[in-house]
Structure 1
Amino acid sequence: MTEVLPKVELHLHLEGAAPAAFIRQLAHEKRMDISGIFDAHGNYAYRDFWHFLEVYEVATATLTRPEDYARLTRAVLEASAASGVVYSETFLSPDFCGGRDLGAWREYLAAIAESAAAAERDLGITLCGIVTPIRHFGPEKARETALCAAETAGDFIVGFGLAGDEKKWQPIDFKWSFDLAREAGLHLTCHAGEWGGPESVRAAWRDLGVARIGHGVRAVEDAPLVDELAEAGVVLECCPGSNIALGLYPNWPAHPIARLREKGVRVTISTDDPPFFHTTMAREYARLAEAFGWDEAIFRSIARTSAEASFCAPSTREKIMKKLEKADV
């Protein structure tokens, strides 16, 4: 069941979706020794969330050219399509793609977009991008990233977000960047409520005016906040497998996605950084079905919610909705 259902994924980091074998091959081609980030089986190895961030950045260091990102985009979309994903939004950072230089960023972006267009023709999966500053790099560098986002907003770059260590800086510190992105017509999201607690969700939503929250699951610890999110229609980009792999919750039945949904919060399902967490969209569906007894009707409803919450152009959203509706017949 889980493989054949059409899926919409809203929370996926492009570099974080790089298969370990792909990164090892790039390192081999460039004669880079990054063997310390893998375990004996060749998988990514990390101790906790903060070590994961370090390993992530080491892996990303192998991606040094636009053509590397073109290859990566194809590999990621092939894996997503194999799991039934028909539409995906991926986080992209000019920090990694050209060091926040606008000219270099345009070159990386063109390579990614061209590869995505080819994958759409070949595989039937559509990709859009969300420009994302790295929170622990600080607000000043985020301003440079926001300028890159504003200058390249369009059919492919549709959103602006914030990722990284939630314990560094506050959402309000990035308000200038979010205001610029909003003025450029970009939709807004922000990672919160993973390691920062429910207060980080409230701050991201109220101080930055985002429509979606990346993760957001720790809102469940604050009942009034849950009610506010439900009433306002704020969408949570839930990544259960990621939360469990990083130790935020001990197992699938303990994850709060079902409780949040039952309280009327609009939840979606994503993989975050799938090779790091040994997951796929099909696996997320299967484990959620096992943990909560969810049936096809629930998963189809969540897919529609995800499509409705997507940041893409209305014409693209209509095309995705038709794919979901066709599968319902």
Structure 2
Amino acid sequence: MKDPDWRADEETLDRIGRMPKVELHLHFEGAAPPSFIRGLAKEKKVDLSRIFRPDGSYDYRDFWHFLEVYEAATSVLKTPEDFARLCRAVLEESAANGVVYSETFLSPDFCGGGDVSAWKDYLLAIRETAEEAERDLGITLRGIVTAIRHFGPDKARQTALCAAETAGDWLTGFGLAGDEKKGKQRDFTWAFDCAREAGLRLTSHAGEWNGPQEVREAVEDLGVERIGHGVRAWGDRAVVDMLAEREIVLEVCPGSNVFLGVFPSLAAHPIAKLRKAGVKVTVSTDDPPFFHTTMRREFEDLAKTFHWDEEVFDELNRTALDAAFCDAATRDAVLKRLEPK
């Protein structure tokens, strides 16, 4: 057993930071570098100066204002070509931080306004760019169609129909994101049933802002196998035990949680306690440029805070890959990239 007083030296931290990584929780538009959005806005002669700080980073007050800024940033993404360019920018950044496999949340609401025909055009542009990036950069991308919770259940039905029409070996999952304070998980049952019948695998944001009951409801009412965030589950041992027993995987985004004030510091974050309790946890960035993080930074900060060594991060990567919404051939190919060189 590792000495509990173990500390990673700079060389070890560097090795941990450079490890190949699997990321399951990445919002596509939320991963847009600020410089990319500023440049696109300038091309389109759209004034988005209000959403940026003087240093060029995104500017917002809290989570709910973040949602407004997020939607403002996406407003300049108008065409399939725009999303193809975004895909390249996002994957270049992820690959530079060691990500070899990524799953990203995509919403037909932002890609064609929920029209199935338009959605297919956007999806094709994104997928073709992702396949080019896989050849060029060695990073594999898969898509998860995401309903926006605060847009309501009716819009989610439309989103689920778009997902069902395009389900396959690249578009492999369905989920729910947005403002947890709006409605209940069960309000979206129809959309999740539709996605399930289409063969899509299921995840839902829960337990980021609302308490443990929100996590239970996502599992029991929607039948998901993964939870986006889920960290508030720590407030109820019965929910924690349920997650462990059912092997529900948490897509944990520590840097995001701390930046938004869900927890006051990384040391106060329950990821290590959840892992020790037998819950399957993984590590992701959520909306990295908004929260000033990268996958490399997440690994290094966790190593410093919880004294995790390379063996722990290898376990986290393999847990994420086992839970990935991809086929066996893709999983085997990615597994080879995780092996030490």
Report the counterpart of residue 234 of structure 1 in structure 2.
Answer: 248
2:67 to 53, 64, 69: 53
| Partner AA of 2:46 in structure 1 | M
Distance (whole Å) between structure 1 residues aligned to residue 267 and residue 164 of structure 2: 41
Report the counterpart of residue 311 of structure 2 in structure 1.
Answer: 297
Deviation >2 Å, runs of 4+: none
Contact 1:80 1:281 in 2 (8 A): yes
Report the counterpart of residue 81 of structure 1 in structure 2.
Answer: 95
**1:72-221 alignment, distance < 5 Å:** 72-221=86-235
Q: Secondary structure at the match of 1:32?
A: coil
CA shift digits 1:263-310 (9 cap, x unpaired): 000000000000000000000001000110000000000000000000
Q: Secondary structure at the match of 1:133?
A: strand
Deviation at 1:322, TM superposition (A): 2.1
Distance (whole Å) between structure 2 residues aligned to residue 192 and residue 18 of structure 1: 23
Distance (whole Å) between structure 2 residues aligned to residue 39 and residue 218 of structure 1: 31
Distance (whole Å) between structure 1 residues aligned to residue 38 and residue 147 of structure 2: 26
Distance (whole Å) between structure 2 residues aligned to residue 244 and residue 45 of structure 1: 17
Deviation at 1:313, TM superposition (A): 1.2
Distance (whole Å) between structure 2 residues aligned to residue 47 and residue 4 of structure 1: 32
| Partner AA of 1:47 in structure 2 | R
Matched, 1:260 2:268: no
2:321 to 298, 307, 314: 307
Report the counterpart of residue 246 of structure 1 in structure 2.
Answer: 260
Report the counterpart of residue 6 of structure 2 in structure 1.
Answer: none
RMSD: 0.7
Distance (whole Å) between structure 2 residues aligned to residue 263 and residue 323 of structure 1: 29
TM-score (norm 1): 0.99
Deviation at 1:49, TM superposition (A): 0.4
Matched, 1:285 2:299: yes
Distance (whole Å) between structure 2 residues aligned to residue 256 and residue 320 of structure 1: 28
Q: Secondary structure at the match of 1:276?
A: coil
| Partner AA of 2:252 in structure 1 | C
Report the counterpart of residue 33 of structure 1 in structure 2.
Answer: 47
Q: Secondary structure at the match of 1:311?
A: coil
Deviation at 1:319, TM superposition (A): 1.1
Q: Secondary structure at the match of 2:143?
A: strand
Deviation at 1:262, TM superposition (A): 0.4
CA shift digits 1:176-220 (9 cap, x unpaired): 000000000000000000011111100001000000000000000
Distance (whole Å) between structure 1 residues aligned to residue 151 and residue 116 of structure 2: 18
Distance (whole Å) between structure 1 residues aligned to residue 249 and residue 334 of structure 2: 18
1:66 to 55, 80, 103: 80
| Partner AA of 1:295 in structure 2 | D
Contact 1:2 1:283 in 2 (8 A): no
Distance (whole Å) between structure 1 residues aligned to residue 210 and residue 179 of structure 2: 9
Distance (whole Å) between structure 2 residues aligned to residue 197 and residue 53 of structure 1: 20
Q: Secondary structure at the match of 1:86?
A: strand
Report the counterpart of residue 44 of structure 1 in structure 2.
Answer: 58
Deviation at 1:314, TM superposition (A): 1.4
Q: Percent identity?
A: 66
Distance (whole Å) between structure 2 residues aligned to residue 186 and residue 43 of structure 1: 35
Distance (whole Å) between structure 2 residues aligned to residue 76 and residue 2 of structure 1: 22
Distance (whole Å) between structure 2 residues aligned to residue 83 and residue 203 of structure 1: 34
Contact 1:133 1:146 in 2 (8 A): yes
Give 5+ residue unaligned stretches, structure 1. Answer: none
Distance (whole Å) between structure 1 residues aligned to residue 327 and residue 165 of structure 2: 17
| Partner AA of 1:25 in structure 2 | G
| Partner AA of 1:119 in structure 2 | A
Distance (whole Å) between structure 1 residues aligned to residue 41 and residue 210 of structure 2: 34
Contact 1:91 1:131 in 2 (8 A): yes
Deviation at 1:163, TM superposition (A): 0.2
| Partner AA of 1:54 in structure 2 | E
Deviation at 1:40, TM superposition (A): 1.2
